[in-house]
Copies of this chain bind each other. A is one copy, B any other.
């Protein structure tokens, strides 16, 4: 691409996209802040995952491209601007998640110049597919950070939504394979919250 081709239009498109992205700050997730003062939004969550990637990269099970992981995390929730946050343990809402998010991607990414729209959408799709080492590591961070915040906030979204141990462990599975050093921490948190009665054990 010739960068002198309509630079003003290109910059105007980019700025319009950045202004639209501001709306991610208004998408409220189920996860509480560590101090339990309020629930977090998807923009600050995305920042936290970028920081977590920088700090925890050395524990990734596979060789990952940190700059790609970080860019993936920065865009991984943008579709929630239209689709909203879909609670991990809401099975009904999960059924429509893919369609709602694909429609959001169709609207949001094309606000950018075509080359950037294509690149960011590909990063988001790679994250959603969860198959590459970069996506698997990103996904593990996206599971671990809310778990840590829930634990800090003494149960948080588990306490509010009657979640059981098996659901949490299935949700956390990407950590076991992509960030194995953190798996004992996950197991300990889950067992502690079962012991205190916040997390139900499965029906036996």
Pair B18/A145 contact, Cβ less than 8 Å? yes
How many A residues have CB within 8 A of the partner chain?
49
Pair B22/A26 contact, Cβ less than 8 Å? no
- Residues of chain B with a CB closer than 8 A to A17's CB: 55
| Count of this chain's copies in the oligomeric assembly | 2
Report the separation of the CA atoms of residues A110 and B113 in the bound assembly, to the nearest whole angstrom: 42
Report the separation of the CA atoms of residues A115 and B24 in the bound assembly, to the nearest whole angstrom: 33
| Shortest CB distance A145–B (Å) | 7
Q: Which of A67-75, A82-90, A131-139, A165-173 lies at the interface with chain B?
A: A67-75
| Shortest CB distance A100–B (Å) | 21
Mark interface residues in A128-167 (1 if CB within 8 Å of B CB, else 0).
0000000000000000010011001000000000000000
Q: Which of A41-49, A91-99, A194-202 lies at the interface with chain B?
A: A41-49
Is the CB of A23 closer than 8 A to any CB of chain B?
Answer: yes
Is the CB of A122 closer than 8 A to any CB of chain B?
Answer: no
Pair A19/B34 contact, Cβ less than 8 Å? yes
Known pairs A14-B56, A18-B52, A43-B47. 5 more at Cβ < 8 A? A25-B40, A26-B37, A50-B50, A50-B74, A54-B120
What would be 20 A-B contacts, judged by CB atoms less than 8 Å apart? A7-B181, A11-B59, A14-B56, A15-B182, A18-B52, A18-B148, A19-B34, A19-B149, A22-B34, A22-B48, A23-B34, A24-B44, A25-B48, A26-B33, A43-B47, A46-B47, A54-B74, A55-B112, A67-B67, A70-B71
